[in-house]
Structure 1
Amino acid sequence: MEEKTSNRRFISLKLKWAFGTAVGSLVVFFIVAMAMFSSFTQSLFNQERDLLNQGMTNISRQLGRINQPLTKRNISNAIDPADGHVAEYQRPIVQELSDGHLIVNVYGRDRQPILSTGKSITKPTFTSRRQVKMMKGAAHKVIVGQQPIYAQRDHRRIGYLQVENKLNAYYQNYDRLRLVVILAMCLVVLASGLLGYFLSMMFLRPLGEIHDTVKTISKDPTKNVRVPVPNHNDELAELTTMFNEMLDRMQRYIEQQSQFVSDVSHELRTPIAIIQGHLDMLDRWGKDEPEVRDDSIRACLIETKRMKNLVQEMLDLSRAEQVEINFRDQKTVVNDVVHQVFNNFKMLYPDFHFTLDDDLNESITVNIYRDHLEQVLVILCDNAVKYSKERKEVHISLSRGMNTVEIGIQDFGEGIPATDIDKVFDRFYRVDKARSRKKGGNGLGLSIAKRLIEGYHGSITLESSLGAGSLFRIILPIVEDPEAL
């Protein structure tokens, strides 16, 4: 799969963006331009057709006033009378005959040509009714209009008229407009492509910086590099922020893992060295002395038990970091668990005074696996018992916020210095290592508790004063639909 991915041809997102912008602009412009082009050219064509129809109408009406079969003489007299009197229809005939767009051909009743203003493009068709149609010309199509001419007096047929519009002006404008559209289309594609490319360079700059950061991190995961967050508040700025937060978490996990391995190796080195020392002593000479042999066996068992507890706590910590995956849908009535732990510790430690302040008037459901909540409460209550001195008293409280439930566990023992409060939840951390080791602690309990609570989107905090005791607060979100249990 990696080889297939690496063999794929790399195409920059900037080029894809530019190409997509250019193609999109081309499609939109093509549709709009074609609509405008068709509308404009159709308007030009209609003008040319109207020109031909108007010419045919004027010529046929004025020639119909001759009221006798058409001949060259009477047409000439109609155009240029010998007596110098200008007929009222002279200017329309002259105007139509002199129009360079039109070729006028007049035929007599015997279908012989009488008058022509230019070489005819098409062969005449003598019809009994008026018709206008497109016909093939030498270079392009032309409009041809044909109709009979009737005398106005008695409506006798006195000749035939054929008018042709060469459409030269139409096709010149058509070709000119088409060239303008093509050039404009090329300009739009080029401009939109360049604009898309430069916009992609500006908008996708954070992606390039993320790419460079990933390459740097892949070479050295411990390197402290981050992506600059853009000033504009948009999706890319949000993505950059989330990416930097992910890098922060990743680096924190790497540091924690490195510290975890270092601490585990350090924690295991001591019991292993103790066990090895006792076994070497027994192998050399201690097995012949019952007292030395019993002491060594007892010490080896103690250290073995401590290593077993350490491994178990390490497994618990590993599972605690995966609660969101394995136990996301688990729900528990918090009242029941708190009362159960309270009663258990009262029975286990009769010399301690345990009190429970339950301010909840109803059963409250939280999104947490029951065993995990019980485990956290046992860890905190066990610490409260272990680190209490003269005043053997533990106070447990249960109260409700707006959408949360709060569990408090308070002791009145040794307390924790202010400088160590932020570190007590770290793995293998002990405020007083020598004293903690005597009490059997490995420094993983509070770390497990914190991972479990945060895995269920809750929080755990500590307030403490040296010599005055400690107060742990657990806050968990309340499930809105208890029937989901």
Structure 2
Amino acid sequence: MTKEIIDVDSIQANQEKKSVSLKLKWALGTAIGVTIIFGIFAILLFQCFSNILFKQEQSYSRDALQATEKKLTGYDQPLDKNNIQQSFNISYSPKNNDSLNTPYNDSFIQSAAHKNLIVSIYNNSGNQLYSTSKEVLTFKKVRSTEENKVKSDKHTVLLIRKPIYSKKTNEKIGYIQISDKLIQYDQTRKKLVYLFIIIGITVCFAISLMSYWLASIFLQPVDLLNETIDEINNSDDEAKALSEVRVPVISKDDELAQLSNLFNNMLDRMQRYIEQQQQFVGDVSHELRTPVAIIQGHLDLLKRWGKDDPKVLEESIQASLQEIDRMKNLVQEMLDLSRADQVEVQYGSETSDAREVGLQVYNDFQMIHPDFQIILDNDLKNKTLVKIYRNHLEQILIILLDNAVKYSTDRKEIHLTMSKNTRYVEFVVQDFGEGISQENIKKIFDRFYRVDKARSRNKGGNGLGLSIAHRLVEGYHGKISVESVENQGSVFRVQLPLVNPE
């Protein structure tokens, strides 16, 4: 069984060769759409003009028919050449009986006819008595007026045939046939066709160019987006490119500009995730190095000679267990910190009662630390909903109160204040302990940062508690701040957004 090796680069290259530019698709689609619409409009307009021209020609033929009929209906006998001669003052050649003049010499008929119109008169037998043209025309008897539009080799012809009835006897005395060569009608229609074709081609070409130009302008953010992605993909250092390359900011305020901003925000978030991951790996490896070294040192000691000394054995086991507990706590805190980075996605719609949670944590700490005087100043008299998951609010308050307990000195007193304004619920935790210098106050929310690492390690801290609290508060669009003076204490202030009553 042979294995087929798929060349991903060649597939991508083939796809790029086969792909058609969106701007070209847009231009072609717009041109086709406009052409179809123009074609429908041109057909309707062409039919409208054709009908107007045909009705005009039809009116000429009917006027000629009516004028000729009016001259002949006064006879009570079937028509013959004498009747025609009397009615229209026609003189015939004695040799061939052809007329020497036409009925158009009659002023009434002349006003109703034009050069392309032929008037023919026939008797009851269908024999031609007179015609204004020597051109041989096809005739047939009819019972009533008939109008037909027929195609000849060169042009269209309108034929109108009608029987003639005597006014006196109401008997049929002959037939009239009007033949109108629609030469001007055909020529005008042909000119309209050429005109619409030329206009259609011009409009299609102009619309294609304009559409391509507009597409180039409108899709500029997409082009910049593609260029940014290609620059990141083709960079030798993708991590560096991801941190530096961004889609240029476009001043337009439309959906594509918003797409560019969203893409930049996504790159910023990806960069933060990468930095967090790198920092996570570096911090964990750094923090685990010490306990692992301590445990390894005790095990080496026991391996060499300490296992024979009960006192050394007890001390090594106890120290190793302490370091294992510290590693376990460290791993748990790192997991909490990782979850804190995702609170907006996983718990964005959660709410909790700030008053209830604050009272619960206050009572728990009073029970756990009876040697401390914990003073509560509660301005939340009723249920107060805030946009945060209940467990996370408990975790934030526990971290702040636990730090207040850890870093208190002789004055074992802690103040917890709960209040609200029009937008936020505010928790304030104040202690009267060691305090923080202005140099260190900006760094206390960083991961693994401890003001005094030796003293913090003795108190069981890993430097992650305030970082977790900071991430949680920011994840719920709140604010956390600190004010502190060395050897006088610290004040931590947390603001969380209220839930809209509606």
What TM-score do you get using the length of structure 2 for normalisation? 0.85
Tell me, in whole angstroms, the C-alpha distance in 2 between the residues paired with 1:415 and 1:34.
88
Does the 8 A contact of 2:116 with 2:180 survive in 1? yes
Between stretches 283-292 and 264-273, larger displacement belongs to 283-292
Between stretches 240-249 and 472-481, larger displacement belongs to 472-481
Q: Give the alignment partner of residue 59 of structure 1, picking from 68, 77, 82.
A: 68
Q: Aligned runs of 1:345-384 on 2, under 5 Å?
A: 345-384=365-404
Residue 401 of structure 1: aligned partner: 421
Does the 8 A contact of 1:122 with 1:137 survive in 2? no
Q: Give the alignment partner of residue 178 of structure 2, picking from 150, 163, 188.
A: 163
State how many pairs are aligned.
478
Tell me, in whole angstroms, the C-alpha distance in 1 between the residues paired with 2:30 and 2:432.
70
Q: Deviations over 1:30-68 (max 9, x none)?
A: 332222222221111211211211121122223446887
Does the 8 A contact of 2:430 with 2:492 survive in 1? yes
Displacement of 1:406: 1.7
Residue 159 of structure 2: aligned partner: 144
Tell me, in whole angstroms, the C-alpha distance in 1 between the residues paired with 2:106 and 2:165.
18
Does the 8 A contact of 2:291 with 2:323 survive in 1? yes
Does the 8 A contact of 2:156 with 2:186 survive in 1? no
Tell me, in whole angstroms, the C-alpha distance in 2 between the residues paired with 1:410 and 1:329.
30
Q: Give the alignment partner of residue 106 of structure 2, picking from 85, 90, 106.
A: 90
Displacement of 1:225: 1.0
* Amino acid of the structure 1 residue aligned with 2:47: S
Q: Does 1:211 align with 2:226?
A: yes
* SS at structure 2 position matched to 1:104: strand
Does the 8 A contact of 1:351 with 1:392 survive in 2? yes
Q: Does 1:254 align with 2:274?
A: yes
Q: Report the aligned-residue RMSD.
A: 3.1
Tell me, in whole angstroms, the C-alpha distance in 2 between the residues paired with 1:94 and 1:479.
94
Q: Aligned runs of 1:155-234 on 2, under 5 Å?
A: 157-218=172-233, 219=235, 220-223=238-241, 224-234=244-254
* Amino acid of the structure 2 residue aligned with 1:197: Y
Residue 269 of structure 1: aligned partner: 289
Displacement of 1:467: 4.1
Q: Deviations over 1:196-230 (max 9, x none)?
A: 11111111111111112122234413320111111
Tell me, in whole angstroms, the C-alpha distance in 1 between the residues paired with 2:135 and 2:128.
11
Unaligned runs of 5+ in 1: none
* Amino acid of the structure 2 residue aligned with 1:58: A
Q: Deviations over 1:284-323 (max 9, x none)?
A: 2333334433333332222222111111111112222333
Cα distance change of structure 1 residues 228 and 269 upon mapping to structure 2, 3 Å threshold: same
Displacement of 1:73: 5.8
Does the 8 A contact of 2:104 with 2:110 survive in 1? no
Q: Give the alignment partner of residue 132 of structure 2, picking from 112, 117, 124.
A: 117
* Amino acid of the structure 2 residue aligned with 1:233: D
Does the 8 A contact of 2:84 with 2:90 survive in 1? no
State the percentage of identical aligned residues. 47
* SS at structure 2 position matched to 1:461: strand
Displacement of 1:383: 1.0
Tell me, in whole angstroms, the C-alpha distance in 2 between the residues paired with 1:121 and 1:133.
17
Q: Give the alignment partner of residue 303 of structure 1, picking from 323, 347, 353.
A: 323
Cα distance change of structure 1 residues 271 and 104 upon mapping to structure 2, 3 Å threshold: same
Cα distance change of structure 1 residues 231 and 81 upon mapping to structure 2, 3 Å threshold: same
Residue 331 of structure 1: aligned partner: 351
Does the 8 A contact of 2:449 with 2:464 survive in 1? yes
Cα distance change of structure 1 residues 231 and 137 upon mapping to structure 2, 3 Å threshold: same
Residue 391 of structure 1: aligned partner: 411
Tell me, in whole angstroms, the C-alpha distance in 2 between the residues paired with 1:79 and 1:54.
17
Cα distance change of structure 1 residues 206 and 419 upon mapping to structure 2, 3 Å threshold: farther
* SS at structure 2 position matched to 1:423: coil
* Amino acid of the structure 2 residue aligned with 1:407: F
Residue 427 of structure 1: aligned partner: 447
Q: Deviations over 1:391-437 (max 9, x none)?
A: 33221111122243222212233333344444322222223333322
Does the 8 A contact of 1:424 with 1:431 survive in 2? yes
Tell me, in whole angstroms, the C-alpha distance in 1 between the residues paired with 2:215 and 2:296.
66
Does the 8 A contact of 1:22 with 1:189 survive in 2? yes
* Amino acid of the structure 2 residue aligned with 1:55: A
Tell me, in whole angstroms, the C-alpha distance in 2 between the residues paired with 1:222 and 1:119.
96
Does the 8 A contact of 2:156 with 2:183 survive in 1? no
* SS at structure 1 position matched to 2:240: coil
Cα distance change of structure 1 residues 49 and 344 upon mapping to structure 2, 3 Å threshold: same
Does the 8 A contact of 2:399 with 2:465 survive in 1? yes
Tell me, in whole angstroms, the C-alpha distance in 2 between the residues paired with 1:384 and 1:38.
91
Q: Give the alignment partner of residue 432 of structure 2, picking from 401, 407, 412.
A: 412
What TM-score do you get using the length of structure 1 for normalisation? 0.88
* Amino acid of the structure 2 residue aligned with 1:11: V
* Amino acid of the structure 2 residue aligned with 1:382: D
Does the 8 A contact of 1:428 with 1:443 survive in 2? yes
Tell me, in whole angstroms, the C-alpha distance in 2 between the residues paired with 1:94 and 1:329.
93
* SS at structure 2 position matched to 1:357: strand
* Amino acid of the structure 2 residue aligned with 1:113: Q
Displacement of 1:461: 2.8
Unaligned runs of 5+ in 2: 1-6, 92-101
Tell me, in whole angstroms, the C-alpha distance in 2 between the residues paired with 1:314 and 1:26.
64
Does the 8 A contact of 2:408 with 2:433 survive in 1? yes
Between stretches 256-265 and 140-149, larger displacement belongs to 140-149
Does the 8 A contact of 2:375 with 2:416 survive in 1? yes
Displacement of 1:121: 7.0
Cα distance change of structure 1 residues 215 and 128 upon mapping to structure 2, 3 Å threshold: closer
* SS at structure 2 position matched to 1:222: helix
Residue 473 of structure 1: aligned partner: 493
Tell me, in whole angstroms, the C-alpha distance in 1 between the residues paired with 2:133 and 2:206.
48
